[in-house]
Amino acid sequence: MKFTELANPIFQRAIIDYHQTDNVDAPIQNPYEAGTIEADLYLKNWIDTVQWHLEDIIRDPEIDPVEALALKRRIDRSNQERTDLVETIDSYFYAKYHDVEVLPTATINTESPAWAVDRLSILALKIYHMQEQVNRDDATEEHRRKCQEKLDVLLQQRIDLSTAIDQLLDDFESGRKYMRVYKQMKMYNDPSTNPILYGAKK
Protein backbone atom coordinates (compact mmCIF):
# COMPACT_ATOMS: atom_id res chain seq x y z
CA MET A 1 0.00 0.00 0.00
CA LYS A 2 1.23 3.45 -0.89
CA PHE A 3 1.62 5.81 2.07
CA THR A 4 -1.02 8.24 0.84
CA GLU A 5 -3.48 5.35 0.43
CA LEU A 6 -3.10 5.02 4.20
CA ALA A 7 -3.04 8.73 5.03
CA ASN A 8 -5.90 10.13 2.94
CA PRO A 9 -8.66 7.93 4.44
CA ILE A 10 -7.36 8.67 7.94
CA PHE A 11 -7.55 12.39 7.27
CA GLN A 12 -11.09 12.01 5.94
CA ARG A 13 -12.09 9.99 9.00
CA ALA A 14 -10.71 12.63 11.38
CA ILE A 15 -12.61 15.38 9.56
CA ILE A 16 -15.87 13.44 9.63
CA ASP A 17 -15.36 12.54 13.30
CA TYR A 18 -14.78 16.18 14.19
CA HIS A 19 -17.94 17.29 12.39
CA GLN A 20 -20.06 14.92 14.45
CA THR A 21 -20.01 17.70 17.06
CA ASP A 22 -18.42 20.56 15.05
CA ASN A 23 -17.08 21.89 18.33
CA VAL A 24 -13.50 23.14 18.72
CA ASP A 25 -13.56 22.02 22.37
CA ALA A 26 -14.73 18.47 21.67
CA PRO A 27 -12.23 15.91 23.01
CA ILE A 28 -10.39 13.83 20.45
CA GLN A 29 -11.27 10.14 20.32
CA ASN A 30 -8.31 8.78 18.39
CA PRO A 31 -9.31 5.31 17.15
CA TYR A 32 -5.72 4.20 16.44
CA GLU A 33 -3.18 2.66 18.76
CA ALA A 34 -0.96 5.22 20.46
CA GLY A 35 2.56 5.38 19.07
CA THR A 36 1.59 4.26 15.56
CA ILE A 37 1.89 6.35 12.41
CA GLU A 38 -1.88 5.96 11.99
CA ALA A 39 -2.50 7.60 15.37
CA ASP A 40 -0.11 10.42 14.50
CA LEU A 41 -1.83 11.04 11.16
CA TYR A 42 -5.25 11.13 12.82
CA LEU A 43 -3.99 13.54 15.50
CA LYS A 44 -2.31 15.67 12.84
CA ASN A 45 -5.54 16.16 10.93
CA TRP A 46 -7.58 16.65 14.10
CA ILE A 47 -5.28 19.52 15.10
CA ASP A 48 -5.59 20.98 11.60
CA THR A 49 -9.38 20.65 11.66
CA VAL A 50 -9.77 22.36 15.03
CA GLN A 51 -7.43 25.12 13.92
CA TRP A 52 -9.39 25.56 10.68
CA HIS A 53 -12.50 26.35 12.72
CA LEU A 54 -10.62 28.54 15.18
CA GLU A 55 -9.49 30.60 12.19
CA ASP A 56 -13.14 30.91 11.14
CA ILE A 57 -14.23 32.02 14.61
CA ILE A 58 -11.53 34.64 15.05
CA ARG A 59 -12.64 36.35 11.82
CA ASP A 60 -16.06 37.18 13.25
CA PRO A 61 -16.25 40.98 12.85
CA GLU A 62 -18.28 41.19 16.08
CA ILE A 63 -15.87 39.15 18.19
CA ASP A 64 -14.94 40.52 21.60
CA PRO A 65 -11.29 41.71 21.54
CA VAL A 66 -10.46 39.83 24.72
CA GLU A 67 -11.88 36.63 23.26
CA ALA A 68 -9.99 37.28 20.01
CA LEU A 69 -6.69 37.57 21.89
CA ALA A 70 -7.37 34.32 23.73
CA LEU A 71 -8.17 32.64 20.41
CA LYS A 72 -5.00 34.03 18.82
CA ARG A 73 -2.91 32.54 21.60
CA ARG A 74 -4.76 29.25 21.25
CA ILE A 75 -4.01 29.25 17.52
CA ASP A 76 -0.34 29.92 18.30
CA ARG A 77 -0.29 26.90 20.62
CA SER A 78 -2.01 24.84 17.95
CA ASN A 79 0.59 25.86 15.38
CA GLN A 80 3.34 24.72 17.73
CA GLU A 81 1.59 21.37 18.28
CA ARG A 82 1.22 21.02 14.51
CA THR A 83 4.91 21.72 13.96
CA ASP A 84 5.95 19.30 16.70
CA LEU A 85 3.79 16.56 15.17
CA VAL A 86 5.20 17.16 11.68
CA GLU A 87 8.66 16.65 13.15
CA THR A 88 7.47 13.43 14.82
CA ILE A 89 6.19 12.15 11.47
CA ASP A 90 9.46 13.12 9.79
CA SER A 91 11.30 11.16 12.47
CA TYR A 92 9.17 8.14 11.53
CA PHE A 93 10.25 8.47 7.89
CA TYR A 94 13.87 9.05 8.87
CA ALA A 95 13.92 5.89 11.00
CA LYS A 96 12.19 3.89 8.27
CA TYR A 97 14.73 4.82 5.58
CA HIS A 98 17.78 5.37 7.75
CA ASP A 99 19.48 2.10 6.80
CA VAL A 100 18.86 2.40 3.06
CA GLU A 101 22.10 2.47 1.08
CA VAL A 102 22.15 5.88 -0.55
CA LEU A 103 23.28 6.00 -4.16
CA PRO A 104 26.30 8.18 -5.04
CA THR A 105 24.01 10.26 -7.26
CA ALA A 106 21.35 10.70 -4.55
CA THR A 107 19.93 14.16 -4.04
CA ILE A 108 18.09 15.86 -1.21
CA ASN A 109 14.52 17.09 -1.58
CA THR A 110 13.52 20.71 -1.06
CA GLU A 111 10.79 19.66 1.39
CA SER A 112 10.72 16.93 3.99
CA PRO A 113 8.06 14.24 3.49
CA ALA A 114 6.11 15.16 6.62
CA TRP A 115 5.72 18.77 5.50
CA ALA A 116 4.28 17.46 2.24
CA VAL A 117 1.94 15.26 4.32
CA ASP A 118 1.02 18.40 6.27
CA ARG A 119 -0.11 20.00 3.01
CA LEU A 120 -2.07 16.85 2.18
CA SER A 121 -3.90 17.09 5.50
CA ILE A 122 -4.82 20.74 4.88
CA LEU A 123 -5.91 19.82 1.37
CA ALA A 124 -8.34 17.26 2.80
CA LEU A 125 -9.92 20.07 4.81
CA LYS A 126 -10.18 22.33 1.78
CA ILE A 127 -11.91 19.56 -0.16
CA TYR A 128 -14.37 18.83 2.66
CA HIS A 129 -15.36 22.45 3.13
CA MET A 130 -15.49 23.26 -0.58
CA GLN A 131 -17.84 20.28 -0.99
CA GLU A 132 -20.00 21.85 1.71
CA GLN A 133 -20.23 25.01 -0.38
CA VAL A 134 -21.16 23.03 -3.47
CA ASN A 135 -23.98 21.41 -1.49
CA ARG A 136 -25.37 24.60 0.05
CA ASP A 137 -29.13 24.94 -0.48
CA ASP A 138 -29.10 28.61 0.52
CA ALA A 139 -26.41 29.65 -2.00
CA THR A 140 -26.91 30.83 -5.55
CA GLU A 141 -26.37 28.55 -8.52
CA GLU A 142 -23.46 30.78 -9.54
CA HIS A 143 -21.82 30.33 -6.14
CA ARG A 144 -22.19 26.56 -6.29
CA ARG A 145 -20.83 26.48 -9.84
CA LYS A 146 -17.74 28.46 -8.91
CA CYS A 147 -17.18 26.27 -5.86
CA GLN A 148 -17.53 23.13 -7.99
CA GLU A 149 -14.81 24.45 -10.29
CA LYS A 150 -12.58 25.06 -7.28
CA LEU A 151 -13.41 21.62 -5.90
CA ASP A 152 -12.39 19.99 -9.17
CA VAL A 153 -9.01 21.72 -8.93
CA LEU A 154 -8.57 20.64 -5.30
CA LEU A 155 -9.38 17.02 -6.13
CA GLN A 156 -6.81 17.04 -8.92
CA GLN A 157 -4.33 18.66 -6.57
CA ARG A 158 -4.83 15.82 -4.08
CA ILE A 159 -4.11 13.28 -6.82
CA ASP A 160 -0.96 15.15 -7.85
CA LEU A 161 0.30 15.75 -4.31
CA SER A 162 -0.40 12.14 -3.31
CA THR A 163 1.54 10.93 -6.35
CA ALA A 164 4.45 13.25 -5.57
CA ILE A 165 4.62 12.12 -1.93
CA ASP A 166 4.56 8.44 -2.87
CA GLN A 167 7.24 9.02 -5.53
CA LEU A 168 9.41 10.81 -2.98
CA LEU A 169 9.07 7.92 -0.52
CA ASP A 170 9.92 5.47 -3.33
CA ASP A 171 13.04 7.53 -3.98
CA PHE A 172 14.02 7.29 -0.31
CA GLU A 173 13.43 3.54 -0.32
CA SER A 174 15.58 3.06 -3.43
CA GLY A 175 18.36 5.39 -2.28
CA ARG A 176 17.78 7.92 -5.07
CA LYS A 177 17.11 10.59 -2.46
CA TYR A 178 18.15 11.03 1.15
CA MET A 179 16.57 13.02 3.94
CA ARG A 180 17.56 14.97 6.99
CA VAL A 181 15.27 15.97 9.84
CA TYR A 182 15.48 19.68 10.58
CA LYS A 183 13.80 21.15 13.63
CA GLN A 184 11.82 24.27 12.82
CA MET A 185 13.54 26.22 15.62
CA LYS A 186 10.67 28.67 15.93
CA MET A 187 11.89 31.59 18.00
CA TYR A 188 8.75 33.52 18.88
CA ASN A 189 7.40 30.80 21.21
CA ASP A 190 10.73 30.40 23.01
CA PRO A 191 11.15 32.71 26.03
CA SER A 192 14.92 32.54 25.56
CA THR A 193 14.89 33.80 21.94
CA ASN A 194 11.85 36.12 21.72
CA PRO A 195 13.12 39.55 22.87
CA ILE A 196 9.64 40.55 24.06
CA LEU A 197 9.57 37.53 26.37
CA TYR A 198 13.12 37.55 27.67
CA GLY A 199 13.11 41.34 27.85
CA ALA A 200 10.08 41.21 30.11
CA LYS A 201 12.19 39.43 32.75
CA LYS A 202 14.62 42.33 33.10
Q: At residue 148, does pLDDT exceed 80? A: yes
Whether the predicted pLDDT of 197 surpasses 70? no
Task: Tell me the average pLDDT across 151-173.
Answer: 98
Model confidence pLDDT, tens digit, residues 86-129: 999 999 999 999 999 999 999 999 899 999 999 999 999 999 99
pLDDT, residue 99, reads 94
Gap between the Cα atoms of 5 and 10, Å rounded: 9
Cβ atoms of residues 123 and 145 within 8 Å: no
Q: Is the dihedral of CA 56, 59, 152, 7 positive or negative?
A: negative
- Give the per-residue pLDDT at 180: 81
Q: What would the mean pLDDT of 9-26 be, rounded to a whole number?
A: 98
Amino acid making up residue 93: F
What's the CA gap between 102 and 97, in Å, rounded?
A: 10
What does the DSSP 8-state code read for residue 135?
A: T
181 against 119, higher pLDDT: 119
The pLDDT, as a whole number, for residue 200 is 60
Q: What is the rounded CA–CA span in Å between residue 103 and residue 101?
A: 6
pLDDT at residue 139 tops 80: yes
Other beta carbons within 10 Å of 39: 15
pLDDT at 150: 98
Torsion-angle region of 22 (φ positive above 0: left; ψ -120 to 50: alpha; else: beta): left
Question: Quick one: average pLDDT of 162-186?
Answer: 89
Residue 21 is classified by DSSP as T
Q: Please give the biggest Cα pair distance in the chain.
A: 60
Question: Would you tell me how many other CB atoms lie within 10 Å of the CB of residue 11?
Answer: 27
Helical (H) or strand (E) element with 178: strand 177-178
Mapped onto helix, strand or coil, the DSSP state of residue 170 is: helix
Q: What pLDDT, on a 0 to 100 scale, did the predictor assign at position 46?
A: 98
Confidence of residue 176 (pLDDT cuts 50, 70, 90): very high
Q: What's the confidence (pLDDT) of residue 194?
A: 73
**What value does the mean pLDDT of the chain take?**
93
Question: Nearest CA to 75 among 43, 45, 47, 42?
Answer: 47
pLDDT in tens, 33-83: 999 999 999 999 999 999 999 999 999 999 999 999 999 999 999 999 999
